[in-house]
Structure 1
Amino acid sequence: MRCGAVVVGLVCAGLVASCTNGSEPPPEVAGLPAQRPNSVEEFERTAGSPPVWLGSELTVQSYEDGQGRLDGPFFAFGVEAFAVGKAIKGPVAASGIGERRAEPGQELVVVAADSRVRAGQWVPDEDDPKPKAELVVGGAPTALHRIPLTPPKSGVDVKLDSAVVVASVPAGAPVSIRVTDAGRTQTMDLRTGRRGPDAIAGYYRRNSAELTWTGHLSGGISTPLGGGRTPVEFAAGFKTMDPAHLTDKPTATLAPYTPRRGWAPPGGAWLVVPRPVVSRPFDPFSPLFDLALSDPAVFSLRLPDGTAIPAEPGSTTMSTEVLGPWPLKSGGLMTFAVPAEFQRGTVRASIGAAEVTATRLKKKAAGSWSPAPAPFDIPVDLG
Structure 2
Amino acid sequence: MPTGPPFAMPADYAQSLNGGGVDLSGTQPADGVLRSPFMQLKLKRTRVTDRLEPLEHEHLRVSDEDTANRALVAAPGHRLVVAQLDTGPQSMNGSWSKDPMMEGGTDKAEVRLVVGDRRQLLTPRPTIGTIFLVSAADGVPVRLELTDQGITQQMDLRTGATVHAGSAVLYHGDINRPSVGYAGTGTVTRGGATVQVNVKISAGRMVFEAWAPGVGWAKPGRAWLILGVTATSDGFDGYTKGGTLGVFFDIQNSSTYTLVLPGGQQIRARAGKDSTTTFGGTYSSATPVMFDVPDSLRTATLHIAPSGTVEAVQRDVRYPSNWAKAPAAQDFPIDLG
TM-score in terms of structure 2 length: 0.83
1:370 to 302, 324, 331: 324
> Structure 1 stretch 31-40 or stretch 299-308: which is displaced more?
31-40
Q: Does 1:186 align with 2:158?
A: no
Shift in Å, 1:174? 4.2
Q: Partners in 2 of 1:349 and 1:148 — Cα distance?
A: 44
Equivalent residues of 1:147, 1:163 under 8 A apart: no
Shift in Å, 1:370? 1.3
Q: Does 1:102 align with 2:74?
A: yes
Q: Partners in 2 of 1:178 and 1:37 — Cα distance?
A: 22
Q: Does 1:60 align with 2:14?
A: no
Equivalent residues of 1:223, 1:365 under 8 A apart: no
Partner residue, 2:33: 69
Q: How do 1:146-161 residues align onto structure 2 when only pairs under 5 Å count?
A: 146-149=124-127
Shift in Å, 1:94? 4.4
Q: Does 1:356 align with 2:321?
A: no
Shift in Å, 1:77? 1.1
Structure 1's 87 and 125: CA in aligned 2 closer, same or farther, altered over 3 A?
A: farther
DSSP-derived class of the 1:61 partner: coil
- AA aligned opposite 2:54: G
For residues 180-203 of structure 1, give each alpha carbon's deviation from its aligned partner in whole angstroms, at most 9, with x where no partner exists: 111011122333323225363111
Identity percentage over the alignment?
Answer: 24
2:273 to 307, 312, 315: 315
- AA aligned opposite 1:107: R
- AA aligned opposite 1:76: Q
Partner residue, 2:249: 291
Equivalent residues of 1:207, 1:255 under 8 A apart: yes
Partner residue, 1:17: none
Structure 1's 129 and 277: CA in aligned 2 closer, same or farther, altered over 3 A?
A: closer
Q: Partners in 2 of 1:127 and 1:298 — Cα distance?
A: 25
Equivalent residues of 1:176, 1:189 under 8 A apart: yes
Shift in Å, 1:329? 4.1
Q: Partners in 2 of 1:276 and 1:125 — Cα distance?
A: 16
Q: Partners in 2 of 1:208 and 1:83 — Cα distance?
A: 33
Q: Partners in 2 of 1:313 and 1:215 — Cα distance?
A: 21
Shift in Å, 1:258? 1.3
Partner residue, 2:196: 231
Equivalent residues of 2:299, 2:336 under 8 A apart: yes
Equivalent residues of 2:38, 2:107 under 8 A apart: no
Q: Does 1:200 align with 2:167?
A: yes
Shift in Å, 1:236? 3.0
- AA aligned opposite 1:62: Q
Long gaps (5+) in structure 2: none
Q: How do 1:1-383 residues align onto structure 2 when only pairs under 5 Å count?
A: 31-46=5-20, 49-51=21-23, 53=24, 60-64=26-30, 67-91=31-55, 92-97=57-62, 98=67, 99=70, 100-115=72-87, 116=89, 117-123=91-97, 128=106, 130-138=108-116, 140-149=118-127, 162-171=129-138, 173-198=140-165, 200-224=167-191, 228-238=193-203, 250-280=204-234, 282-283=237-238, 284-286=241-243, 287-316=245-274, 318-323=276-281, 327-351=282-306, 353-360=307-314, 362-383=316-337
Equivalent residues of 1:358, 1:367 under 8 A apart: yes
Q: Partners in 2 of 1:181 and 1:113 — Cα distance?
A: 18
For residues 100-137 of structure 1, give each alpha carbon's deviation from its aligned partner in whole angstroms, at most 9, with x where no partner exists: 22112211112222243122122478993622222334
Structure 1's 322 and 34: CA in aligned 2 closer, same or farther, altered over 3 A?
A: same
Partner residue, 1:243: none
DSSP-derived class of the 1:296 partner: helix
Q: CA RMSD in A?
A: 2.8
Shift in Å, 1:315? 3.4
- AA aligned opposite 1:61: T
Shift in Å, 1:148? 4.2
For residues 139-193 of structure 1, give each alpha carbon's deviation from its aligned partner in whole angstroms, at most 9, with x where no partner exists: 65443334443xxxxxxxxxxx542211111146443322111101112233332
Q: Partners in 1 of 2:15 and 2:333 — Cα distance?
A: 50
